[in-house]
Amino acid sequence: MGGKGRSRTQRKHFRQSRENVWKRPKSDDSQNPENSSNSTPDDTNDSRVNRDPGWQPFATQNTGFDEYYKEQEIVSPEEWDAFIQYLRKPLPAAFRINSSSQFYMDIRRQLENDFTISLQAEDTDGSEVAAIKPLPWYPNNLAWHSNFSRNQLRKNQTLERFHEFLKLENETGNITRQEAVSMVPPLFLDVHPHHFVLDMCAAPGSKTFQLLEMIHQLTETGTLPSGMVIANDLDVQRCNLLIHQTKRMCTSNLIVTNHEAQHFPSCHLYRNHINNSEIGNSEESGISQLQFDRVLCDVPCSGDGTLRKAPDIWRKWNAGMGNGLHGLQVQIAMRGISLLKVGGRMIYSTCSMNPVENEAVVAEILRRCEGSIELVDVSSELPQLIRRPGLKKWKVRDKGVWFTSYKDVPKYRRSVVTSGMFPSGKTYEETSEHNHETVTAELFENGKESTGNELQLIDNPMVPTHSLEAEVSTLPLEHCMRIVPHDQNTGAFFIAVFHKLSPLSVTQKNPVSLPRKMDSSNAQAEISKNEGKEDSDGVEIDSTRGTEGRLSEATIDADTLENGIGEAALDADSNIVSEENEKEEAQPSSDTKNGAEVVRGKRKLQIQGKWRGVDPVLFYRDDTVIDSIMEFYGIKDTFPFKGHLITRNIDNNHVKRIYYISKSVKEVLELNLLSGQHLKIASVGLKMFERQTSKEGATAPCLFRISSEGLPLVLPHITKQILYASAVDFKHLLQYKIIKFSDFVNPEFGEKASKLMLGCCVVVLRRDDNVLTDDQQVDASTVAIGCWRGRTNVAVMVTAIDCQELLERLSSLMATETALMQENSSSQLEADEIAYKNDSELKEDIKTLTPATLG
């Protein structure tokens, strides 16, 4: 969190307090091993009730939920039972293969040829239901869907091998476990490798990972795409989770930021700036304003589309949750559109089924933009994905009362129920007299029925009114997409695709503040914090003030909190961030040295940049160290190396890690420095080198070793410290971790290793053991690991989980090669037999020929 004595985020902070009602206690499995493979959530609940009669599971029903969505007609009455039935079932597990992974084809082949067959045969209930199958709408069979829930995968003994496979590949970044409907929005974003992409509310990072895959598609080994992704999230702890998730991608084309999405900075370059010698001439920075080709706006929402994986939402749900978030969602979406380039595409999505959070937001955006954007019809894309058109009409409910038009809303409730929540979006002048308004207010508070025709009040908030028809929108909201659970056994999701036709006007860019109750002094302070300069395009470019002093993404007025949003709306799994995460903006220090804050007193804080509690991002310019790295590893001059290295430590003598950034990220960092460091950067760059701190490492010619994350990128560009190992020696290195020079199976390999300089080296798996040459071209299939050439041995510098994954890949590769060799040998033998048989038959035919026949 940084500042005010709060400690650093730790692993324990990632633990969720939510109880998983689908999870079986371990004692059940040990006591009932026979039933562990085919139990259901109901069985689990029954067994727990038997042990603890006072315990009650979450009720998977909510009368208010049923009444609300029946009235909104999100599904037909005939489908309602099936819809509810699916919502009460655990969500099946789904995962996606990382298409940029080196082994993605092997993993897909293993799923298609191994697990699909073996799991079908091992199905315990005797049915012919496929255990796993590819999602038909996801390209190239890279996304898979299981008919088992995540709990069943953990507890079913027949699925143990498959579950271990998923855990291993997920940990190494080869697959991502992700809800099926969550994979949909990036597919409609149409991302290309040259695009600048913004993920506004990115945590926990599964969609960001997907966007990075698209950026890196079709990229050759050792090269980088010209595009990049900026992944943003307000909450610091969720931001750290996002960093952990995206680190598995090993990319230098990513920046992770920590801002309120509705106030994400645009980083305008000042017209009269001073050239900074640290980053060069500003005209060479390449960009003068931060804008994006694609924007993913997966906003905070009430999250009732995730009921199948978060059943505790059943008891928390109420209609006020969506109303309280509508204003924030509009603000975030409008900010996303203002950051979008003309001709660009933006996705607005939620995991909610509430039209107030979905179609109402889309309609309000279209109205505010006044023709600058259009809603794209993507019904012809991904034809195998079952989706439904957006709603054209809906109602708004507030404190148990249904409203069909904004004119029906009492004046004192219009700070909560706004005109933008209704299909028409119309505002109405007050025509009713003061006495009538007062009487209506009294009736509203007492729950009595009004005698007017515009508004019907009810005693029982669970009983809807049917006297008035809802407004019908004239906007093309049918181009939106709704995914419902019972169509293809998934969660629920809403998606809208926008295309920007022209720049927004100044008034369109200015956001409307969320309602918030505060006293006069706090209000004045809030106004002061939001004051900033505006350029001719109406984009805020204040250099002395960041974004952290503004309203939090979870700022909701007190009336809405009283209406029941409370705990459910602020739940982390619903992407809603608590206001207590609102952080105080860093004020510039009066004592600074080289851009770092100097802290006087007994307690010394960490070295900091502009943002409190965040390490600065600095270009690494120590030519002595850089030249020693290039000389030691023989890095080619064609590789863009100098100027692409950064560090997070201002003291060059104590730099532990050096990160590599792509050209696009470099341009953004230069722009950010010139424009006043508007971006609060939590993570950036690919960890390329690490300082070796051991005693032996201190005596090595080069103090920095190549990290596992950076090895695939730099390997094609190094010419020294490389060894080529046979499959046997490579396997032994992974198994035993340290091997003496004399103990290698191939003595020539040990001899070459002993001739290398002391320090880091790279061991490459030789493709063909029969070819002894070391001149092997590096491509996507090249398998290599980082090692340390010691005085008498070679030691592997790879994590245990990576060693395990490589061993399995190597075993699979060797088995495949053996099978291919046997198949080729068998085919050649059959061909020889056929040739011999044909030859014998020909000889017999020749013997039977007579002169008459020849004549």
Strands 722-725 and 759-765, sheet pairing:
parallel
205 is in an annotated binding site: yes
Pair of tokens at residue 8: 């650093």
By CB neighbour count within 10 A (0-12 exposed, 13-18 middle, 19+ buried), where does 257 fall? buried
Pair of tokens at residue 303: 């999250």
Sign of CA dihedral 153, 157, 159, 165: positive
What's at 26, amino acid-wise?
Answer: K
- Name the pLDDT band for 592 (thresholds 50, 70, 90): very low
The yes-or-no verdict on residue 244 having pLDDT over 80 is: yes
Q: Which has more pLDDT, 846 or 183?
A: 183
207 is in an annotated binding site: yes
**How do residues 528-556 score in pLDDT, each as one tens digit?**
333 333 333 333 333 333 333 333 333 33
> Which amino acids are annotated catalytic?
351
Give the Cα separation of 415 and 28 in Å (integer).
52
- Name the pLDDT band for 731 (thresholds 50, 70, 90): very high
Q: Which has more pLDDT, 496 or 425?
A: 496
Contact 116, 150 (CB under 8 A): no
Q: Which has more pLDDT, 467 or 783?
A: 783
- Name the pLDDT band for 715 (thresholds 50, 70, 90): very high
Averaged pLDDT score across all residues of the chain:
76
The yes-or-no verdict on residue 509 having pLDDT over 60 is: no
- Name the pLDDT band for 468 (thresholds 50, 70, 90): low
Of the listed ranges 119-133, 188-202, 335-349, 431-445, the least confidently predicted one is 431-445
Question: What mean pLDDT comes out for the span 637-648?
Answer: 93
CB burial string 790-810: b at 16+ within 10 A, e below: beebbebbbeeebbebbebbb
Predicted confidence at residue 627, as pLDDT, reads: 94
Q: Which has more pLDDT, 702 or 127?
A: 702
Pair of tokens at residue 782: 């090249």
What's at 124, amino acid-wise?
Answer: T
Q: Which has more pLDDT, 845 or 215?
A: 215
28 is in an annotated binding site: no
Of the listed ranges 402-411, 603-612, 790-799, the least confidently predicted one is 603-612
3-state SS record for 19-73:
CCCCCCCHHHHHHCHHHCCCCCHHHHHHHHHHHCCCCCCCCCCCHHHHHHHHHHC
Residues whose CB is less than 8 angstroms from the CB of residue 599 and which lie 6 or more positions away in sequence, other chains included: 605
682 is in an annotated binding site: no
Q: Which has more pLDDT, 31 or 181?
A: 181
The yes-or-no verdict on residue 855 having pLDDT over 90 is: no
Of the listed ranges 132-141, 173-182, 309-318, 424-433, the least confidently predicted one is 424-433
Predicted confidence at residue 262, as pLDDT, reads: 95
- Name the pLDDT band for 654 (thresholds 50, 70, 90): confident
204 is in an annotated binding site: yes
Predicted confidence at residue 839, as pLDDT, reads: 64
Give the Cα separation of 521 and 531 in Å (integer).
16
Q: Where are the beta strands (DSSP E) in 551-703?
A: 592-593, 596-597, 618-619, 645-647, 657-660, 681-684, 686-691
In sequence order, what are the beta bridge partners of 756? none
What's at 583, amino acid-wise?
Answer: K
The yes-or-no verdict on residue 569 having pLDDT over 70 is: no
Predicted confidence at residue 819, as pLDDT, reads: 59
Give the best-scoring range by mean pLDDT among 6-15, 64-73, 142-151, 602-611: 64-73
131 is in an annotated binding site: no
Question: What mean pLDDT comes out for the span 792-808?
Answer: 91
Give the Cα separation of 42 and 44 in Å (integer).
5
Question: What mean pLDDT comes out for the span 261-278?
Answer: 68
The yes-or-no verdict on residue 557 having pLDDT over 90 is: no
Q: Which has more pLDDT, 805 or 461?
A: 805
Which stretches within 699-799 are classed as H helix?
711-714, 727-736, 747-755
Residue 702's closest CA among 764, 788, 781? Answer: 788
Give the Cα separation of 263 and 270 in Å (integer).
19
755 is in an annotated binding site: no
Report the share of the chain in percent with pLDDT over 70.
Answer: 67
The yes-or-no verdict on residue 123 having pLDDT over 60 is: no
202 is in an annotated binding site: yes
**How do residues 46-65 score in pLDDT, each as one tens digit?**
555 455 555 455 678 889 99
- Name the pLDDT band for 100 (thresholds 50, 70, 90): confident
In sequence order, what are the beta bridge partners of 788? 760, 795
Question: What mean pLDDT comes out for the span 96-112?
Answer: 90
First to last CA, the chain: 102
What's at 663, amino acid-wise?
Answer: K
- In eight-state DSSP terms, residue 391 is P
The yes-or-no verdict on residue 7 having pLDDT over 70 is: no
Give the Cα separation of 364 and 420 in Å (integer).
6
Predicted confidence at residue 844, as pLDDT, reads: 64
The yes-or-no verdict on residue 505 having pLDDT over 50 is: yes
**How do residues 473-504 score in pLDDT, each as one tens digit?**
999 999 999 999 999 999 999 999 999 999 98
790 is in an annotated binding site: no
- Name the pLDDT band for 301 (thresholds 50, 70, 90): very high
Of the listed ranges 234-248, 405-419, 444-458, the least confidently predicted one is 444-458
3-class DSSP state for residue 383?
Answer: coil
CA dihedral 215, 684, 669, 508 (to 10 degrees): 70
